[in-house]
Amino acid sequence: MIFLEPQFRNEHGEILNVINTKGKAVGYLSYMYKDQGDLYVLGQLEDEGEKQNFLDITTHFIGGLKQSIAGKEDAEPYVYIHLGGEVLKLGNSEEKASEKEEEEE
Amino acid 92: pLDDT:
57
Structural domain count of the chain: 1
Helix (H, G, I), strand (E, B) or coil at 20: strand
pLDDT band at 90 (very low <50, low <70, confident <90, very high): confident
pTM of the predicted structure, to 2 decimals: 0.78
| pLDDT above 70: residue 61 | yes
* CB-CB contact of 46 with 26 (8 Å): yes
Amino acid 76: pLDDT:
84
Domain range for 83: 2-104
Amino acid 105: pLDDT:
46
| pLDDT above 80: residue 52 | yes
Could you tell me the CATH number of the domain that includes residue 35? 3.40.630
21-28 contact pairs (CB < 8 A, 24+) = 26/2, 26/50, 27/54
